[in-house]
Amino acid sequence: MSGRLVSIFRHPVKGLSPEMLENVALEPNGSLPNDRRYAVEVGASGFDPSAPAHVSKMKFAVLARFPELARLRTRLQDASGLFRVEDDHGFGVDVPLDREDGRTALARFLEAYLSGSVQATMRVLEGPGGHMFSDHPQGRVSVLNLASVRLLEQAVGRPIDPLRFRANLLVDGLTPFAEDDWSVGSALRVGELEFSVVSPVVRCVATHVNPTSGETDIDLVEQLRTVFDRTTMGTYLVVARGGLLKVGDEMKAS
């Protein structure tokens, strides 16, 4: 069974808006460049940049804690490191995330934006040496089967934006929940790249948040549990063989 890669997304700052890419070069065991390279801790997270390790997402500013973050629009310029963040009224700032003063400026912007929801000091962290602030300790790339989302839409009876699931790769042309046949360690080939399956993605209340309005409007975890007897949607992968990944690439499961 084969499908096709229809969208590529990265999230430079964990919890903030995605960016669409047409193509991206991936290295073995790597992530999308600048994907979740930064995270915003709310109070002390325990993250040690000298020994970077996985930290629970609930230590950071994420949609599961602050749904209103979905209303912010962001964009990272790779060449300059300049990061644009603005609210739904168009008010925003441009900050250099590769500098400490820029990261501090972003933290102060977010503290002001979330003033009614957060009482702790916020600090923007940068993952050293290629560290990414993934929700999963081993998952470096995530893929979402759009046919599975459409089946969930039918159960819910309303449209579901795939961006609720914050995946890196969106694929189409598969049967619904074809990903259930991908065993841990099995290979997925996408264009010239090969990925190894890590695990299904267990979903949380972040998926309840409308990615445009920032409103919590659908209990998707409960829908998955009651209709499909599952709490997973999407799959974590690691890159086994690198290369240039492009929208339109064919995907095959071995």
Same domain, 77 and 202: no
Q: Do 86 and 50 share a structural domain?
A: yes
Quick one: which of 76, 82, 80 has its CA closest to 14?
76
* Average of per-residue pLDDT across 208-233: 96
Does residue 10 sit in the same domain as residue 54? no
**Res 135: pLDDT:** 96
- d(CA 205, CA 37) in angstroms, rounded, equals 23
Average pLDDT, the chain: 96
Identify whether residues 26 and 53 lie together within a single domain.
no
Verify that 154 and 200 share a domain, yes or no: yes
Is pLDDT at 254 greater than 90 in this prediction? no
Asked whether residue 151 falls in the same domain as residue 107, the answer is no
The reply to whether 222 and 192 lie within a common domain is: yes
Mean pLDDT of 26-40: 97
Give the domain CATH number at 244: 2.40.33.20
Average pLDDT over residues 40-57: 96
Question: Does residue 160 carry a pLDDT above 90?
Answer: yes
Domain match, 48 and 174 both: no
Determine what percent of the chain is predicted with pLDDT higher than 70: 100
Same domain for 119 and 183: no
pLDDT tens-place string over residues 87-146: 989 999 999 999 999 999 999 999 999 987 888 999 999 999 999 999 999 999 999 999
Which residue, among 24, 135, 128, has the nearest Cα to 78 in the 3D structure? 24
User: CA–CA separation, 94 vs 86, rounded Å?
Assistant: 9
Of 78, 104, 130, the residue at which a domain comes to its end is 130
Q: Cα angle at 233 between 228 and 238, to 5 degrees?
A: 145
Q: Is residue 80 a contact partner of residue 93, using CB atoms and an 8 Å limit? A: no
Same domain? 141 vs 248: yes
Task: Check whether 62 has a pLDDT greater than 80.
Answer: yes
Per-residue confidence band for 175, with pLDDT thresholds at 50, 70 and 90: very high
Mean pLDDT of 68-85: 95
77, 106, 130 - which closes a domain: 130
**Residue 1 pLDDT more than 80?**
no
pLDDT at 125: 98
**What is the pLDDT averaged over residues 143-161?**
97
Region 54-67: mean pLDDT is 96
Q: Which of 130, 150, 175 is the last residue of a domain?
A: 130
Identify the domain containing residue 70 by its residue range. 38-130
Strands 122-126 and 187-190: unpaired
Q: What is the predicted pLDDT for the residue at 117?
A: 85
Distances from the Cα of 226 to the Cα of 155, 223, 229, 232, angstroms? 10, 5, 6, 12
Q: Per the structure block, which two tokens stand in for 165?
A: 């699931």
42/125 same-domain check: yes
- What's the order of all strands across the beta sheet hosting 92-96? 73-76, 82-86, 92-96
| Three-class HEC string of the chain | CEEEEEEEEECCECCCCCEEECEEEECCCCCCCCCCCEEEEECCCCCCCCCCCCCCHHHECCCCCCHHHHHCEEEECCCCCEEEEECCCCCEEEEECCCHHHHHHHHHHHHHHCCCCCCCCEEEEECHHHCCCCCCCCCCEEEEEHHHHHHHHHHHCCCCCHHHHCCCEEEECCCCCHHHHCCCCCEEEECCEEEEEEEEEECCHHHHECCCCCCECCCHHHHHHHHHCCCEEEEEEEEEECEEEECCCEEEEC
Q: What is the pTM of this model?
A: 0.96
Burial class (CB within 10 angstroms; exposed 0-12, middle 13-18, buried 19+) of 151: middle
pLDDT value, residue 43: 95
> 39 or 254: whose pLDDT is higher?
39
Structurally, the chain folds into a number of domains equal to 2
Residue 116 has a pLDDT of 79
pLDDT exceeds 80 at position 76 = yes
Residues 121 and 141 both lie in one domain: no
